Amino acid sequence: MPESHKAENARRKKQNIAAGIGDENGRLPPRMKADAKMAQCIVCQAELKITKTNTELKLHSENKHGKTIDVCFPGAEAVSAEMKNSVAGGSTGNGGKAGSGKGSKKVTKENLDDLLMAGMAGGPGAKKNKGRK
Measure Cα distances from 58 to 36, 46, 69 in Å: 17, 13, 6
pTM above 0.75, yes or no: no
* Average of per-residue pLDDT values in the chain: 77
**pLDDT recorded at residue 124:** 58
69 CB-near residues (< 8 Å, 6+ apart)? 54, 57, 58, 61, 62, 76, 77
Average of pLDDT values for 4-9? 87
Identify the pLDDT of residue 116: 74
pLDDT mean over 72-83: 90
- pLDDT score at 96: 47
pLDDT at position 61, please?
A: 92
Q: Which amino acid is at 82?
A: E
Task: Please state the rounded mean pLDDT for residues 79-91.
Answer: 78
**17-70: per-residue pLDDT in tens?**
888 887 777 777 776 667 788 999 999 999 999 998 999 999 999 999 999 999
